[in-house]
Structure 1
Amino acid sequence: MSVVIGVRVPRKLKKELEELGIDYTREIKEFLARRIREEKAKKLAREIEEFKSRLKPIRGNLSAEFIREDRGA
């Protein structure tokens, strides 16, 4: 289902868009979709950074410890 979003632009701007054959409806839809993707990516990056800040640093050479443990078993 669609909704209508009204945008007021100067008459000259609309005339120029039409003269240049620019599909302003499509341009606006694509712009809004791109902005949503960008904001979601920023939000996800912030959440990842927050998660990383809560992780404790890995001590020493953990992979070597795992290998030694496996060899001993």
Structure 2
Amino acid sequence: MVSVVISVRIPKELKEKLEELDINVSEVVREFLKEYVEEIEIKRLEEKLRRLRLHLSGKIDPTIVAKLVREDRVRK
């Protein structure tokens, strides 16, 4: 996996507190961003599903849609 460097300007006091608490900032930021991206992806998929439900209401069995969504989530 190729990686890139990002930088963020934070208050000096926060940096000192992070060091004082021996917090691995890289690890925390990496994990937060990973979870945040997953959260956004899920929200967007839920919105697409909502629109599909409106469009297909009465045309397809909702249990099939739910099963397909579950299978898709498991694959990720």
Scaled to the shorter chain, the TM-score interval is 0.7 to 0.9
Structure 1 residue 56 displacement after superposition: 3.5
Q: What's the RMSD between the two structures over aligned residues?
A: 1.2
Structure 1 residue 57 displacement after superposition: 2.3
| Structure 2 residues not aligned, in runs of 5+ | 60-76
CA distance in 1: counterparts of 2:57 and 2:23, whole angstroms: 53
What TM-score, normalized to structure 1?
A: 0.74
Number of corresponding residues: 58
- Determine the structure 2 residue equivalent to 1:23: 24
CA distance in 2: counterparts of 1:30 and 1:5, whole angstroms: 14
Q: Which runs of 4+ in 1 moved over 2 A?
A: none
- Determine the structure 2 residue equivalent to 1:49: 50
CA distance in 1: counterparts of 2:7 and 2:25, whole angstroms: 13
- Give the number of the structure whose alpha-carbon radius of gyration is greater: 1
Q: Residue type matched to 1:53 in 2?
A: L
CA distance in 2: counterparts of 1:15 and 1:40, whole angstroms: 34
Indicate the percent of aligned positions where both proteins have the same amino acid: 36
Q: Residue type matched to 1:43 in 2?
A: R
After superposition, give the CA deviation of every residue in 1:14-58 in whole Å (9 maximum; x if it has no partner): 111011011111101111101100000000000100110011427
- Determine the structure 2 residue equivalent to 1:11: 12
CA distance in 1: counterparts of 2:42 and 2:22, whole angstroms: 32
| Structure 1 residues not aligned, in runs of 5+ | 59-73
